Structure 1
Amino acid sequence: MNGTVSILGVPFSKLTLEETTLHLAEQIENKRDKLFHLITANPEITLASQSDELLQRIIQSADMVVPDGIGIVLAARRQGNPIPERVTGYDLLLKLLEQGNKRSWSFYFLGTDEETSRQAVEKIKHSYPRVRIAGRHHGFFDAAEETEIIAGIQQSKPDILILAMGAPFSDKWLHRHKSELAGVQLVFGVGGSLDVISGKVKPTPPVWKKLNLEWAHRLLFSPVAKGQKSRWRRQSALPKFVYRTMIRQMIRR
């Protein structure tokens, strides 16, 4: 691996999307004895970790943290230790589905609402016919259902467990149940990626991605699930993140 760069104490991987995909494929093919926990962290999650001790511990114990946001890339550049590119949960999911289609990996999808979950998995089956679906479940479950979900994951032992319950809830959920998920090779959260795959949310047009304005497209056009903070409130974390990283850099100098 090409090492990491620390931004507000979060150790971000410096691998590209392609390099990350190859590294994860190696972990999966080697059939590790314990699961590989990957976190996709953006400026909002990085900032939240400053005041959330549990989230800090989860991030530090993760096997890899990838930069899911242009703000992370710019902060690393300002530190003189550049990250080559963003590695978003959505792009990484698509890359692993491509690899899974070649290698017949199994996936379990946990999160989002029932209809979106069903539609997303149906489209994945159609687009990646050699991917094995180990199971799926929506993210609005009670304690009894949770027990059944964990039992189902234990029984199916998917190569990859995809969590679509939002950050940092997905990673905190995994932290609580990590010891029960032996046999799973890779786990990571994908935010609203299943919403895009299902067609519920339109994908970001390439020109917006090229200009690193994916966040703006989501802010303007993507719906917010019930119970989540508005995107305008969430984006208010960005100027705080920029301020914190600049002050930290000035102090270091």
Structure 2
Amino acid sequence: MKDKVCILGVPFSKLTLEQTTSLLDEHIMDAQGGMFHLITANPEITLASQTDEQLREIIGSADLIVPDGIGIVMAARRQGEPIPERVTGYDLLLSLLAQGNERGWSFYFLGTDELTSVQAVEQITLRYPQVKIAGRHHGFFTLEEESDIITDIRQAKPEVLILAMGAPYSDKWLYKNKEELRGVKVVFGVGGSLDVISGKVKLAPAIWKKLNLEWAHRLLFSPVAKGQKSRWRRQSALPKFVFRTMIRK
């Protein structure tokens, strides 16, 4: 398709952030629209999909996959099918919150730790007062608690469900519970975006973003949650991704 480019078997959208937001806006405002599952995929997730059969299945069933990483943009350029810009989970979340503030949409936030979740929602309420908070819950719940959380989301019927449990866990969790959450209009994972909104993690300075070095800023300055891989270990996927895409070309 002209609006997509396939990188290591993953069909990435060529839509800009503005176009992606407009697409989601149209879907939310369509009363007949079902659940729209968007995945924000970076080189690490793309590489993981090569050996993770379930992840490939999830990617294949998603409605849209956006390029959350400069490595994806560079790989597309090498293939001669350029992507205009990155569409990160953080930027897309802010864009949808701004749109939701105008439309009066409701959001449910699931993930990160309890304190960060509370502080992030407080900040969102201050910045986007017309956004309705349908609910929130931290991401360190047990299997016994999971059914109550799903029931809470179903009863809240948010237009947008935001998952902040890390990738690919967020997408795998949704895939497992997709049938029970059909009332949600749009759902996607945002990684550590709530940590940034809450103030727990500082956003990379403009110069780092301009040089496409946000990954380096996170590597050097962002804390890693208990139970997660170290950032140094995760970044080891980058040279592997570059090698794979160059060989494939």
TM superposition score category, shorter chain reference: over 0.9
SS at match of 1:171: helix
Q: Return the letter of the residue paired with 1:92.
A: L
Verify the 8 A CA contact 1:50 1:56 in the aligned structure 2.
Answer: yes
Give deviations 1:48-100, integer Å, cap 9, x for gaps. Answer: 00000000000011000000000000000000000000000000000000000
Partner of 1:125: 125
Partner of 2:108: 108
Partner of 1:71: 71
> How much has 1:183 moved relative to structure 2?
1.1
In structure 1, runs of 5+ residues without a counterpart are: none
Partner of 2:213: 213
> How much has 1:31 moved relative to structure 2?
2.9
Partner of 1:229: 229
SS at match of 2:58: helix
> How much has 1:143 moved relative to structure 2?
1.6
SS at match of 2:66: strand
- Whether 1:144 aligns to 2:144 is yes
Partner of 2:174: 174
Normalised to the residue count of structure 1, the TM-score between the two structures is: 0.97
- Whether 1:12 aligns to 2:7 is no
Normalised to the residue count of structure 2, the TM-score between the two structures is: 0.99
SS at match of 1:84: coil
Please identify runs of 4+ aligned residues in structure 1 that moved more than 4 A.
none
Q: Return the letter of the residue paired with 2:181.
A: L
> How much has 1:15 moved relative to structure 2?
0.3
In structure 2, runs of 5+ residues without a counterpart are: none
SS at match of 2:60: helix
**In structure 2, C-alpha distance between the alignment counterparts of 1:204 and 1:158, rounded to whole Å:** 30
> How much has 1:34 moved relative to structure 2?
2.1
Verify the 8 A CA contact 1:33 1:183 in the aligned structure 2.
Answer: no
RMSD: 0.9
**In structure 1, C-alpha distance between the alignment counterparts of 2:170 and 2:197, rounded to whole Å:** 19
Verify the 8 A CA contact 2:27 2:33 in the aligned structure 1.
Answer: no
SS at match of 1:141: coil
Give deviations 1:193-247, integer Å, cap 9, x for gaps. Answer: 0000000000111111111001000001000000000000000000000000000
Verify the 8 A CA contact 2:150 2:181 in the aligned structure 1.
Answer: yes
**In structure 1, C-alpha distance between the alignment counterparts of 2:238 and 2:183, rounded to whole Å:** 37
Verify the 8 A CA contact 2:108 2:134 in the aligned structure 1.
Answer: yes
Verify the 8 A CA contact 1:162 1:190 in the aligned structure 2.
Answer: yes
